[in-house]
Amino acid sequence: MKGFRATGRRLTRQDFLLLSAGAGAGLALAGCGGGSTAVQSTGDGGKTYKGPKVDVAFWNGFTGGDGPYMGELVKEFSSQNKKINVSMNTVEWAVYYQKVPSAVSTGEGPDVGIMHADQLGTNAARGVVIPLDDVASALGLKESDFAPTVWNAGLYNNQRFGIPLDMHPLGFYYNKSLMEKAGLDPNNPPQTRDDYEAALEEMKGAGIQGHWVSPLLFTGGLSWMSVLWQMGGDLYNDDASKATFNSDAGVQALEWMVSLVKKGYSPKDVGEDAEFVAFQNGDNAFMWNGIWNINPLKEVKGLEWDVAPLPQIGTEKAAWAGTHQFVIMNKQPLDENKVQASKVFINWISEKSIEWAKAGQIPARATVRESQEFKSLEEQATLAKQVPYVHFVPPVPGIAEVGLTTFERAVNEAVLLKTEPKAALDAAASRADQLLEENRQKYQA
């Protein structure tokens, strides 16, 4: 997916509908409601494995260019750990979230897997995954070893269910050739609102529509969330029981995006992936898109581009980001040997995450991010400057479906000039409040 994923095929809006519906159906089959706090296993939390030889099934959605990187890490791990053979099964994320809960409930499927923050709380609440507090404790992992935001993204009801692997934020890609054509310094991308809008005006004068605004979640919704946070707002209140995205900050963020269309800096009705295709073809100068596009853009011959942190449009620095978190499945009957082997695997991959960074990721572990090897990955290291102020969707049950059917729709209607930003967001917030309450009842959160 391009957004709530790493590199590879984009998750479309239809994929997200399937993802949300499929996850709900699978969770109903899982039938472990109310979470699982009594399945914590014995062992030393991932330091070593001393049991018999085991085969561990590892499922994920890395179907794109990131898949081979993870595949190589899995092979290396299995070659070094003769008692643990890890087999990797990769399917599209929408299919993954649909299949995993029901497979786990029947004792099939993966032993260990990956989940995004917006799916973690849902699966923890339904007992699909087990707590991993012992892993963090035994390995001495603490918040200071990670960015606080990504560390806390693995928590649900004050228990740890996810061990952070990475962060994949939105970044600012700029076409150096088009900047030069418009008389701008190609080595000095705009980083303030005034400079950004001035650059777009210069480009318009040169016949270039500089920032193509997508009405879809990828990348319009992600851009809107980023500017919302930059304006000092948030999606929900502290316990995610009420929507707050229709605040002045949310409205101003959406009005800014709409203004880019109305002023002619962006075409109207930008189609799916059109902004990315236009950037590759030299028709779009500025693009807000995910870190996962670094490697694909490197493959485009003759394209002169670079990447920078998102420009600061509001009063604060902020950027949307996703995160992949390792989880261990509550596959019954729980095999203690496979659980312990899975913990060893998680720890090993986490420590080796510099190789994963090459797939277009920012490692969650601070020691890896601070290494010279990571700093040599210039584009990834540049976007890693945003780590202190990235934001994630809160890991509460059912949250993915809330955004899908509320603020994503509002952004779409406003950017397509069908509904005024405030009216679109107000209607979406009212619907979101209903869904949040339904989720609270459904998940007993």
Report pLDDT for 322.
96
**Which residues contact residue 145 at a Cβ distance below 8 angstroms, ignoring those fewer than 6 apart?**
151, 365, 366, 367
CATH architecture of the region 13-165+323-391: 3-Layer(aba) Sandwich (3.40)
Return the pLDDT at 134.
Answer: 87
pLDDT at 151 exceeding the cut of 60: yes
* Structure tokens belonging to residue 126: 């339904």
Rg (CA), the chain: 22
171-320+406-443 has the same fold as 13-165+323-391? yes
- Percent with pLDDT over 90 in the chain: 84
- Determine how β-strand 112-116 pairs with β-strand 155-156: unpaired
Q: Is 194 left (phi over 0), alpha (psi -120 to 50) or beta?
A: alpha
Query: Mean pLDDT, the chain, as a whole number?
Result: 90
Q: 380-426 pLDDT, tens per residue?
A: 999 999 999 999 999 899 999 999 999 999 999 999 999 999 999 99
CA distance 362 to 76: 21
Tell me the domain boundaries of the chain: 13-165+323-391, 171-320+406-443
Structure token digits, residue 384? 């890693």
Domain topology for 171-320+406-443: D-Maltodextrin-Binding Protein; domain 2 (3.40.190)
Per DSSP (E only), the strands in 351-424 are 362-363, 390-391
Task: Provide mean pLDDT across the span 129-146.
Answer: 89
Q: What is the pLDDT of residues 34-81, one digit of tens each?
A: 344 334 444 556 688 999 999 999 999 999 889 999 999 999 999 999
The pLDDT value recorded for residue 45 is 61
Contact 261, 417 (CB under 8 A): yes
Contacts of residue 432, defined as CB under 8 A and 6 or more positions apart, other chains included, come to 236, 243, 245, 402, 406, 407
What is the rounded distance in angstroms from the CA atom of residue 139 to the CA atom of residue 128?
A: 23
Q: What is the mean pLDDT of residues 204-229?
A: 97
Helix boundaries (H) for 206-307: 222-230, 248-262, 274-280, 294-298
How many beta carbons lie within 10 A of that of residue 422, not counting itself?
A: 17
Q: Which residue has the higher pLDDT, 20 or 173?
A: 173
- Pick the more confident residue, 24 or 287: 287
What residue type is 92 in one-letter code? E
Q: Which residues contact 226 (CB under 8 A, 6 or more apart)?
A: 170, 288, 310, 318, 319, 320, 391
Lowest mean pLDDT among 49-53, 139-143, 227-231: 139-143
Handedness of CA 93, 27, 219, 380 (dihedral sign): negative
Residue 315 has pLDDT above 60, yes or no: yes
Cα distance between residue 242 and residue 435, in whole Å: 10
Alpha carbons within 13 A on the beta-carbon side of 75:
7
By DSSP bridging, strand 163-164 and strand 159-160 are unpaired
The residue type found at 149 is T
